[in-house]
């Protein structure tokens, strides 16, 4: 059975964030670059629920893990 594929906008929806292209660009511009010393889920801009979701998905190598990794990489890039 194939794993479901989640897109970047789907992750923003899952996190309760606005998922339009403009909103995603604005989010990344506002919060980038995330320092290498800060784990994605430990970034100060997440709510407790959002941080827990991100941690759980990576720890379980769940369906969302790939797109969470993409978000991590996007936030580490220079704004």
Asked if residue 20 belongs to a domain, the reply is yes
Q: For residue 43, which phi and psi values (nearest 5 degrees)?
A: -60, 140
Paired tokens of 9: 């906008």
Global pTM value = 0.90
Q: Counting Cβ atoms within 10 Å, is residue 46 exposed (0-12), middle (13-18) or buried (19+)?
A: middle
Q: What distances in angstroms separate CA 32 from CA 7, 52, 76, one per listed residue?
A: 20, 20, 6
CATH code, domain carrying 24:
1.10.10.1130
Paired tokens of 66: 């790939």
- The residue length of the chain stands at 79
Paired tokens of 42: 């430990």
pLDDT in tens, 27-75: 999 999 999 999 999 999 999 999 999 999 999 988 899 999 999 999 9
pLDDT on residue 29: 95
Asked if residue 52 belongs to a domain, the reply is yes
């Amino acid at each position: 059975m194939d794993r479901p594929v989640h897109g970047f906008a789907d992750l923003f929806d899952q996190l309760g964030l606005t998922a339009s292209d403009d909103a995603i660009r604005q989010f990344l511009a506002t919060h980038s670059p995330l320092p290498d010393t800060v784990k994605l889920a430990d970034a100060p801009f997440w709510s407790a629920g959002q941080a827990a979701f991100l941690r759980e998905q990576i720890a379980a190598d769940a369906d969302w893990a790939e797109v969470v990794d993409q978000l991590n990489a996007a936030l580490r890039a220079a704004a």
